[in-house]
Amino acid sequence: MEALREWVLGICIAAVAASIVKIISPSGGMQRTMKVISAVFMLCIIISPLIGEVSFDFDAESYAVEIPDSSELSERIEEQTDIYTKAQLKALIETYLKREGIERAHISIIMERDENSQISVIRADVYVEDEFMHLTQQAKQNIEKELGAQIMFYSYNDA
């Protein structure tokens, strides 16, 4: 009998809560969403005796989330930044090379970080086919002037 009384009391409290939510929710899409949530909540309260007593075991150890320490997180961020920076530099150099008429180049970016984690581009090694080697001198001057980084051109045969 006590369980029946608690169940009815739960339905009444849920109905009052759903009514309050309906009154204070703004009109439009949000009100419809709140109606659906209230209806699902009411349905759960009503059918709760049918599904039996539901228990949730929130054991702290079984749900522990491992958060990396700040140094590990910083390393990951630096790695991702390096990858992104190299990709952007390669794309930029490819654009300059295409402007000079050089196609199908393979680009290798050599970078380093100083003690303040600032990135310095040491140089870019660009491997081109023999047919484009005569265009590399002008491309080298233009790219070094634009980017301020040393560019080295190599023939596929030299690699």
Q: What is the rounded CA–CA span in Å between residue 123 and residue 93?
A: 12
pLDDT over 80 at 154, yes or no: yes
Alpha-carbon separation of residue 75 from 109, 118, 122, 149 (angstroms): 20, 13, 20, 25
Look at residue 4 in the predicted model and tell me its pLDDT: 76
Write out pLDDT tens, residues 75-124: 888 888 889 889 998 998 999 899 989 988 999 999 888 888 788 888 99
**Mean pLDDT of all residues in the chain?**
81
Predicted confidence band at 54 (pLDDT cuts at 50, 70, 90)?
low
The answer to whether the CB of 139 falls within 8 A of the CB of 96 is yes
Domain ranges across the chain: 2-51, 70-155
What is 70-155's CATH topology?
Answer: GMP Synthetase; Chain A, domain 3 (3.30.300)
pLDDT over 70 at 59, yes or no: no
